[in-house]
């Protein structure tokens, strides 16, 4: 038996670490790239324990329903990592002035929990959809849900979960996207893929096409698409209209149309709504899209609208963007929406 005393005192060593943090300026500021990667460095929570926060984040690392390039399964991790920058700024500088809006922001007024990723089943789309619905419903019963995708098919079960969990009979849907996702049936992909998500949402008991607003649409659709929009009452706002009218009046009209005669509005932002010169990290890039400034202004308007009750950010495929700019913009878009909703 050696004579080196009675061994370490665990309580004393814990006190030593606490004393260091208390005595060293900046020891409690966590760098953007440090720590466990939760959204905005929020508390890690279970989905049944978020009734005391403003918003709760869930990830869906699933891209089994894409029709072009895969990789959105890595989106939730990348967005979480990028979001640490805004948490760091808040810790480092305290109150912040948003130079876009001119408003003072106190992120201490914004409480965000991160519930991790829902269980997904790469070879079983139906069970994955059930998982998304169940977990979104659990969160929506307590607070504002934020979903990190994942491919855009995941939005369909998420909207269903939001409606059921929050007890809404009718939901408006604002979709920022390059594509309408209104394919009812594809001879290759069937009726359950990321190009059919809005069709499935509008077929649900909670959403009608006249409560759907689509913003930033461009590229190509079916030959009769404008007739389809007229017949169904779909509120369609193309990129050409944004260029002609300006982004703010367009998004104000879009959210007003979705909110009319509905209990709440679900916002879905497909990152390919942004021009691929700005956000190349996505599966189906389409030229001629939103600028970063226009995208942020959209989220400013939506975050301030009282009808908005849930949001997602979809189709970030980080491996196609070596600069990491796509996930950085995606995180900034969600931070902007939550900031306007809860921190001003």
Residues with Cβ within 8 Å of 136's Cβ and at least 6 positions away in sequence, in order, are 58, 145, 147, 157, 158, 160, 161, 162, 165, 310
Q: How confident is the model at residue 253 (pLDDT cuts 50, 70, 90)?
A: very high
Does residue 298 belong to any structural domain of this protein?
Answer: yes
- Residue 56, in any domain of the structure: yes
Could you tell me the pLDDT band of residue 4, with boundaries at 50, 70 and 90?
low
Residue ranges for the binding site for Mn(2+)?
Answer: 152, 177, 179, 181, 270, 272
Q: What percent of the chain has pLDDT over 90?
A: 71
Check residue 94 and give its pLDDT.
62
Average pLDDT over residues 312-338: 97
Q: Report the pLDDT value the prediction gives residue 262, as an integer from 0 to 100.
A: 98
Task: Examine residue 18 and state whether it is found in any structural domain, yes or no.
Answer: no
Is residue 332 predicted with pLDDT exceeding 90?
Answer: yes
Residue range 178-192: mean pLDDT, rounded: 75
pLDDT (tens digit, 9 = 90+) per residue, 111-162?
999 999 999 999 898 999 999 999 999 999 999 999 999 999 999 999 999 9
Annotated binding site: 152, 177, 179, 181, 270, 272
Query: Which pLDDT belongs to residue 342?
Result: 93
Residue 76 included in any domain: yes
The secondary structure of the chain, three-state, reads CCCCCCCCCHHHHHHHHHHHHHHCCCCCCCCCCCCCCCHHHCEECCCCCCCCCCEEEEEECCCCCCCCCCCHHHHHHHHHHHHHHHHHHHHHHCCEECCCCCCEECHHHCCEEEEEECCCCCCCHHHHHHHHHHHHHHHHCCCEEEEEECCHHHHHHHHHHHHHHHCCCCEEEEEECCCCCCCCCECCCECCCCCCHHHHHHHCCCCCHHHEEEEEECCCCCCCHHHHHHHHCCEEEEHHHHHHHCHHHHHHHHHHHHHCCCCEEEEEEEHHHECCCCCCCECCCCCCCECHHHHHHHHHHHHHCCCEEEEEEECECHHHCCCCHHHHHHHHHHHHHHHHHHCC
Q: Does position 71 have pLDDT exceeding 90, yes or no? A: yes
Q: For the segment 151-175, what is each residue's pLDDT rounded down to a tens digit?
A: 999 999 999 999 999 999 999 999 9
Asked whether the predicted pLDDT for residue 87 surpasses 70, the reply is: yes
What is the pLDDT at residue 261?
A: 97
Number of structural domains (the chain) is: 1
pLDDT at site 93: 58
Q: For residue 150, what is the domain's CATH number? A: 3.40.800.10
For residue range 264-319, what is the model confidence (pLDDT) as tens digits?
A: 999 999 999 999 999 999 999 999 999 999 999 999 999 999 999 999 999 999 99
Does 5 score more than 60 pLDDT? Answer: no
Evaluate whether residue 23 is within a structural domain.
no
Structural domain that includes position 296: 38-342
Cβ contact 338:110 at 8 Å: yes
Does 81 reside within a domain? yes
pLDDT (average), residues 87-97 = 73
Q: CB atoms < 10 A from the CB of 256, how many?
A: 15
Output the average pLDDT for the chain: 90
**212 in a domain, yes or no?**
yes
Query: Rounded mean pLDDT of 185-203?
Result: 76
Q: Which residues, 6 or more positions from 205, have their beta carbon under 8 angstroms from its beta carbon?
A: none
Indicate the pLDDT class of residue 322, thresholds 50, 70 and 90: very high
pLDDT at 191 over 90: no
Mean per-residue pLDDT for 76-82? Answer: 96
């Amino acid at each position: 038996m050696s004579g080196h005393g009675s061994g370490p005192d665990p309580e004393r060593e814990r006190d030593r670490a606490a004393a260091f943090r208390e005595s060293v300026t900046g020891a409690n500021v966590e760098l953007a790239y440090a720590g466990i990667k939760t959204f905005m460095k929020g508390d890690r929570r279970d989905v049944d324990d978020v009734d005391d926060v403003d918003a709760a984040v869930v990830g869906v690392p699933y891209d089994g329903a894409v029709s072009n390039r895969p990789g959105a399964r890595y989106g939730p991790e990348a967005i979480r990592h990028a979001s640490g920058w805004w948490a760091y700024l808040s810790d480092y500088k305290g109150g912040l002035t948003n130079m876009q809006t001119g408003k003072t922001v106190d992120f201490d007024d914004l409480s965000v929990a991160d519930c991790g990723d829902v269980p997904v089943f790469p070879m079983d789309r139906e069970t994955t959809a059930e998982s998304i619905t169940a977990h979104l419903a659990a969160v929506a019963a307590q607070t504002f849900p934020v979903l990190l995708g994942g491919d855009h098919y995941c939005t369909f079960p998420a909207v269903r979960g939001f409606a059921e969990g929050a007890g809404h009979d009718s939901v408006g849907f604002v979709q920022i996207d390059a594509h309408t996702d209104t394919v009812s049936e594809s001879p290759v992909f069937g009726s359950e893929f990321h190009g059919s998500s809005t069709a499935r949402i509008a077929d649900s008991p909670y959403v009608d096409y006249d409560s759907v607003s689509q913003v930033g649409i461009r590229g190509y659709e079916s030959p009769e698409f404008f007739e389809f929009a007229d017949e169904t009452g779909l509120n369609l706002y193309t990129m050409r209209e944004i260029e002609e009218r300006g982004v703010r009046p367009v998004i104000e009209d879009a959210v007003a149309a979705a909110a009319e005669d509905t209990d709440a509005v679900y916002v879905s932002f497909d990152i390919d709504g942004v021009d691929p010169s700005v956000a190349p990290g996505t599966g189906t890039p389409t030229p001629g899209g939103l600028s970063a400034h226009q995208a942020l202004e959209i989220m400013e308007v939506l975050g301030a609208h009282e009808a908005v009750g849930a949001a997602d950010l979809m189709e970030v495929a980080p491996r196609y963007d070596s600069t990491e700019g796509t996930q950085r913009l995606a995180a900034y878009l969600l931070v902007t929406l939550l900031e306007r909703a809860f921190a001003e």
